[in-house]
Amino acid sequence: MEFDWMKIPYALLTLFIVVNYGFLLNALIQKIAARVGRRYGIPIWQNYVDLIKNYGLRSSITHGAMFYLGPVFRLSGGVGLLLFVPAIYGSYMFSNLSFAGDLILALYFIFFGTLGMALGAGESGHPYAAIGVSRGLSQVTTSELPLALAVFSVALQYQTLSVTEIVAAQQGGILNWTLFTNPVAVAAAMLSFLGSMMRPPFDVVLAPQEIPIGPPTEYHSSYLALMQTNRAIFPVAKIVIYMNLFFGGASDWPTFFLKVFLIYLWSAFVGVVFPRFRVEQSIRWFLIWAVPLGILSILMV
């Protein structure tokens, strides 16, 4: 197969756009959440400040090469996920590296970062990191399940696993979106979405507000910077999949920005309203409320 080398700079361009958008989006969502709580919130450019500061810091300690794997896997996962999925429908320029694989590749690549992060965090030897991993993995088994079912339902519906073809099938009006042609699957997927965005009620894995817990406990300076970068890329990359599968994709950047923002807002919206679940509670919640919807969507296709 001929490889078009131009794809590489194109892909890097997508990456650049998404990183910047991600930084702004994260800050915006955080600000919205703060306003709901009658706080002022962070400045919109706060993430840039943090990032520059963290990249600028030089760490003088390390837990060994395996320790690096955490952020490296994490960011590779985010970038890879973004690049294996076409960002803008119908655009050769922003189709990224989607020739390498279909939807299944994207789905499984979500786990790439999780696994690597867990490994790197384990190497730090910090028990809080291990506890966070234990919680995170436990939760992810059930929170991803409705998404997997919904994806399967959509693949059955369109009889393809190719993301581009799924988007193509939704063109020609808002009523052609999967949201309207297969609402049950979308409902299941959107519930699953809540579990993967690290916001309440499913954020016990990181518990960001209180004691430092979760995989990043021991990471600082440039390690943390890498992870912050990923925190900008990964949600967008994941939302791109949602957008492509359920909300008709995006054929230009403005639509892209809008749809991603709205989907992201859904998790923030739920997050500011609900308190936090313990892990076993969230496992049960997904099994009781979200999984049946997913099963239903498979049976109804």
User: Residues 60, 209, 210, 254: which binds other proteins (CB under 8 A)?
Assistant: 60
Q: How far is the CB of 182 from other proteins (least distance, A)?
A: 14
Crossing angle of the two packed helices 183-196 and 291-300, in degrees rounded to 10:
150
| DSSP 3-state of 159 | coil
Q: Does 97 bind other proteins (CB under 8 A)?
A: yes
Based on the shown chain and the rule CB under 8 A, indicate whether residue 209 belongs to the binding site for other proteins. Answer: no
Which residue, 77 or 235, is less far from other proteins as judged by CB?
77
For residue 213, give every residue at least 6 positions away whose Cβ sits within 8 Å of its Cβ, in sequence order, or none: 128, 131, 132, 206, 207
Contact 178, 245 (CB under 8 A): yes
CA distance 199 to 15: 24
- CA of residue 241 relative to chain centroid, distance: 9
Is 36 or 107 the residue whose CB approaches other proteins more closely? 107
By CB under 8 A, the residues from 24 to 53 that bind other proteins are none
Least Cβ distance, residue 289 to other proteins (angstroms): 14
**Residue of 148, 155, 17, 161 lying closest to 85 (CA atoms):** 161
Q: Does 203 bind other proteins (CB under 8 A)?
A: no
Q: Give the shortest CB-300-to-other proteins separation in angstroms.
A: 10
Q: Is 186 in the site for other proteins (CB under 8 A)?
A: no
Q: Which of 18, 140, 167, 260 binds other proteins (CB under 8 A)?
A: 140
- Residue 123 found at the interface with other proteins (CB under 8 A): yes
Is residue 138 at the binding interface for other proteins, with CB under 8 A as the rule? yes
Is residue 198 part of the contact set for other proteins (CB under 8 A)?
no
Report the C-alpha gap between 294 and 301 in whole angstroms.
Answer: 11
User: Using the rule CB under 8 A, which residue among 217, 228, 244, 267 binds other proteins?
Assistant: 217
Count of all residues that appear for the chain in the document: 301
Q: Contact between 68 and other proteins (CB under 8 A)?
A: yes
DSSP for 259-292, please give it: HHHHHHHHHHHHHHHS-PPPHHHHHHHIIIIIHH
